[in-house]
Structure 1
């Protein structure tokens, strides 16, 4: 061991120069130098950067040292240092770029041009050196030389390609046609670089205020597809462009076309369907699933597509989308699906969907109870999946009026899920049930605890209901109005819309000056929306805003009015007006961000990225 230590010490002391090169810089000195540099005190910074370079031999500090000399006007010293460094190693091509900058500062443009040309000739034939020199060009605005550098690369470094780097140069030059052509050449050469191209062109698209660049790339891609139909990368790029536009119809058409050419596109079609469904494009998502199912069980996605398709049909129905199946048609779909897939752990989500359909839409609560009890006995279910079924069963009992059985089941689920989101969801359901039953103080106490839930959605719902109860619970000597309102909510939960409406009417007539009046308008608007009566819904919301402009629900009503006129009533001008009113009258509302976003879109604003936001990526790829 002693001998090994002696050898190591001899090596270190004998290699003093190498050790000095590896010396760690003085952090305090670096910070002070940077402070001087950022404050444009270049003479002071130059002294420190020189010391740092002498200690570390890092080209990074040397470059900063030269920059400080140049910026401070000490051209003679800067040129001397550059010449000295080049005598040691004339292949340091970036030094010629520094020299060119120095000459330009002195007004010698011809000399600067000569030095830039010399940098092209001096650069070593290595990928790292080419990228380093290119970054120097880009940082000094010498874009034409960065282009020349990469165009000479095939002759200087055979076997290396610089499509991506050259495309980035064209991005800096704002020469988008050449940029697109270069990137299209890149993906033709290697389809695996497609993700790099997509990321790169996004930088250009951020500056594209009128979508002309997106259309240009789409046009160039279609031309390439016609000229080189065997290059699959072009098809994949076109699909990506369609997805950026949320044009799921064309994206799916292209994806299916590839699949029919003998490629197995099943995973991509499945993902496209998921994306479309997340964006409420149910028709295209269903087409994608139908196509996968039509391929038969030769694809591993056959059964998965059947399962997810049935769940999507239910979601399509539950939001009242145009073209959705009727409750009876949907029940038939579920029966068919269970006949093909069976009652197994994988179909647990369908059991939940079907039970809810039976109980809440087909008036078959008895069959829903049987289905859920049977579902809880399916093999291989995890405990949380059993608890989800148990929660739905409790909801059905609330529907049928068996409140105490519902409370028992809710309590069991809460006990089993003390540390996850399902537990908080069921606590919220149990607290809401207390509200339905008129136990206002107890319900509010539970809701106050849930306001700290890790789930933002649960916390917001709990806060909203707790605030509602608190604002209306102690205003009168009697709690009858609030209990009537809760009764209407329970009837609405049970889909007994006419009865709920009658209770709201009675409440409105019997207590015309109660603080619940704006809530009544809001509930009636909600009922109208569920029945797709958009004009009537808007009318109630407008009444709320007119009569109670500063009440708690005013900003909610304004946002909902904006959304209604934007999405359902096809009146973007009115929608814009309601969003603006929300911004002006309720600047502290939680809806301000959403309202501002839609207002700007309707007004025609676009988010752009300044040219200064595009920076040189100095990572050597």
Structure 2
């Protein structure tokens, strides 16, 4: 029993101590230095060798301009625990009192400890950095490397150059370090990406591009082509990244893996033109069946995405040829799923689509592949207004792959199916569960569906407008943009002034865009922007307006203005990254010849 009391007492003491430490730090962060100091003094008695809390206590005294008390504390600790960081703290205390000569004296004493023991380099440099004494930190790393040639602080020194505003020097040093230490390439790229994110004027991007282009010209190592390709990918300049990837492939024609990944990025970002060029290059340069099928799949998928009804017959022939060619291949699953989708959603030949999918479900495929087949089967059942059968398949995917991204997608589609069948309460419940989904796009769709139902339900207990909207939305799902457009226009006419209006105006704009009536689309996006400034569709209306002006109206000035609003006013938007890239490109953030 005494042992239990002892253990309980020990845990209680540790708990109280941890609470005091957190409370002291909270007071410090809020600028309540007198309260923080009182707690840090207690902590310093219990943890006399803990330099972190000693430094915080000294900072509290300094913030209260009690430099004498800070000096006494720091000197007493240095005598008991002669760490070089205390010398810097003492020097900084003098610097705060405008006594630079004494401050410099103690900084030099801290540097002298490195000549005695080069292992002190990192801790001394870090202490200087914490005080924003960047030039002293840089000198520390230089001295450490000079004292012990086995130590390498090139990476830290490069970053310090950036913090001191010497961006060109930082770029050169980071690139040199990455080339000499290939395993550190990702770390270097992450740091460069951080500076790119903060590069509001575009000057850093220009400098980095210029330096990488010079290195690809002067040095034949594929490393620099890979690095330049990485930069172009960050800027979504996929056509330029492909030029670098082709150069890499010509020197090492063993694998298409990186080129395929680049093509898939193009697909994800809707750069279908570059994707088609890349896949055509792959087909011309490989005899590997899996790679060939993958390339054919994406080429056909691109064609379907941009096809008009008058092209469907020709496209059907192309699909049938590829299916016949690879029908017995173990790599043709996605190609067959694409065919099933095309037959249902574009040719309205549901029976043929289901026949393809039922055959696939009978083949020996793994759980994940079966889930993909079930997903497409459920989608086709939704198209065919067999909602309950579709929900059964979506539920099976949830059970087969719990917590998987495919399961989240199935749950979202189940919510939409419930919405189409006008089971709004169940749809809202499922959407609510997905608001924190790991995939940003699914989470965004879930939030939109949840708010659409909840906002209108509070306004209209009979949900009349919601039922009309659901019908129009289902027509859009069936890939019938003209019919959907008529239905959404009717919703807007019947329910103008209600909470359903912003979502309806947005949907009208999207469907006008699908049938290439861009002026009308812009008109309805403008209604969203001007009449519903607090709705959740603002960033989408801005982005798609910008896309229309850039792609179809050749009005880069207006496009840039819309992209800029997303960048400045909607940093949480799922379109933020793409908007920022396009904004910078339209602003001209690239060197000549890049």
Normalising by structure 2, what TM-score?
0.72
> How far does the alpha carbon of each residue in 1:79-106 deviate from its partner, in whole angstroms, 9 at most, with x for none?
566566666676x322332232233344
Of 378, 390, 412, the match for 1:391 = 378
Return 5+ residue gaps in structure 1 as ranges. 1-22, 435-441, 607-621
Q: Which whole-Å CA distance do the structure 2 matches of 1:229 and 1:563 have between them?
A: 38
Cα 1:344–1:303, aligned 2, differ >3 Å: closer, same or farther?
closer
Q: Does the 8 Å contact 2:492/2:504 carry over to 1?
A: no
Q: Does the 8 Å contact 1:491/1:499 carry over to 2?
A: yes
- The 3-state SS of whatever aligns with 1:379 is coil
- The residue correspondences of 1:563-582 to structure 2 (distance < 5 A) are 564-565=548-549, 567-571=551-555
* Corresponding residue for residue 160 of structure 2: 169
**Shift in Å at residue 326 of structure 1?**
4.1
- The residue correspondences of 1:317-328 to structure 2 (distance < 5 A) are 317-320=303-306, 326-328=311-313
Of 516, 519, 537, the match for 1:532 = 516
* Corresponding residue for residue 364 of structure 2: 379
> How far does the alpha carbon of each residue in 1:37-66 deviate from its partner, in whole angstroms, 9 at most, with x for none?
565656993895387257442233443455
Q: Does the 8 Å contact 1:355/1:369 carry over to 2?
A: yes
**Shift in Å at residue 247 of structure 1?**
1.0
**Shift in Å at residue 271 of structure 1?**
2.2
Q: Which whole-Å CA distance do the structure 1 matches of 2:134 and 2:545 have between them?
A: 51
- The 3-state SS of whatever aligns with 1:253 is helix
- The 3-state SS of whatever aligns with 2:188 is helix
Q: Does the 8 Å contact 2:21/2:43 carry over to 1?
A: no
> How far does the alpha carbon of each residue in 1:238-288 deviate from its partner, in whole angstroms, 9 at most, with x for none?
222211211111112112212222375633223222222211112223333
**Shift in Å at residue 160 of structure 1?**
1.5
Cα 1:78–1:465, aligned 2, differ >3 Å: closer, same or farther?
closer
1:210 corresponds to 2:201: yes
* Corresponding residue for residue 44 of structure 2: 52
Cα 1:312–1:470, aligned 2, differ >3 Å: closer, same or farther?
farther
**Shift in Å at residue 181 of structure 1?**
2.0
Of 187, 205, 211, the match for 1:196 = 187
Q: Which whole-Å CA distance do the structure 1 matches of 2:565 and 2:146 have between them?
A: 64
- The residue correspondences of 1:85-124 to structure 2 (distance < 5 A) are 92-123=83-114
Cα 1:388–1:339, aligned 2, differ >3 Å: closer, same or farther?
same
Q: Which whole-Å CA distance do the structure 2 matches of 1:25 and 1:378 have between them?
A: 62
Cα 1:531–1:25, aligned 2, differ >3 Å: closer, same or farther?
closer
Of 214, 226, 245, the match for 1:223 = 214
Of 187, 192, 195, the match for 2:178 = 187
- The 3-state SS of whatever aligns with 2:332 is helix
Q: Which whole-Å CA distance do the structure 1 matches of 2:528 and 2:268 have between them?
A: 32
Of 233, 240, 251, the match for 1:250 = 240
Q: Which whole-Å CA distance do the structure 2 matches of 1:236 and 1:116 have between them?
A: 42
Q: Does the 8 Å contact 1:24/1:56 carry over to 2?
A: no
* Corresponding residue for residue 260 of structure 1: 250
1:63 corresponds to 2:63: no
Q: Which whole-Å CA distance do the structure 2 matches of 1:544 and 1:116 have between them?
A: 60
- The 3-state SS of whatever aligns with 1:110 is helix
1:130 corresponds to 2:130: no
* Corresponding residue for residue 393 of structure 2: 413
Q: Which whole-Å CA distance do the structure 1 matches of 2:359 and 2:470 have between them?
A: 33
- The residue correspondences of 1:66-77 to structure 2 (distance < 5 A) are 66-67=58-59
* Corresponding residue for residue 592 of structure 2: none
1:354 corresponds to 2:354: no
Moved more, 187-196 or 329-338: 329-338
1:158 corresponds to 2:149: yes
Q: Which whole-Å CA distance do the structure 1 matches of 2:75 and 2:533 have between them?
A: 74
* Corresponding residue for residue 312 of structure 1: 298
Q: Which whole-Å CA distance do the structure 2 matches of 1:253 and 1:495 have between them?
A: 36
Cα 1:239–1:392, aligned 2, differ >3 Å: closer, same or farther?
same
Q: Does the 8 Å contact 1:424/1:453 carry over to 2?
A: no
- The 3-state SS of whatever aligns with 1:123 is helix
1:238 corresponds to 2:218: no
Cα 1:263–1:374, aligned 2, differ >3 Å: closer, same or farther?
closer
Q: Which whole-Å CA distance do the structure 1 matches of 2:108 and 2:571 have between them?
A: 58
Which structure: larger Rg?
1
- The residue correspondences of 1:497-536 to structure 2 (distance < 5 A) are 514-515=494-495, 527-536=511-520
**Shift in Å at residue 463 of structure 1?**
6.7
Cα 1:52–1:595, aligned 2, differ >3 Å: closer, same or farther?
closer
Cα 1:118–1:26, aligned 2, differ >3 Å: closer, same or farther?
same
Return 5+ residue gaps in structure 2 as ranges. 1-13, 400-406, 435-441, 587-594
- The 3-state SS of whatever aligns with 1:104 is helix
- The 3-state SS of whatever aligns with 1:220 is helix
Q: Which whole-Å CA distance do the structure 2 matches of 1:85 and 1:521 have between them?
A: 68
1:278 corresponds to 2:268: yes
Cα 1:198–1:125, aligned 2, differ >3 Å: closer, same or farther?
farther
- The residue correspondences of 1:17-32 to structure 2 (distance < 5 A) are 26-27=17-18, 30=21
> How far does the alpha carbon of each residue in 1:366-421 deviate from its partner, in whole angstroms, 9 at most, with x for none?
5434433433333325453443353255356x3xxxx6xx4574365366457555
Q: Which whole-Å CA distance do the structure 1 matches of 2:121 and 2:241 have between them?
A: 38
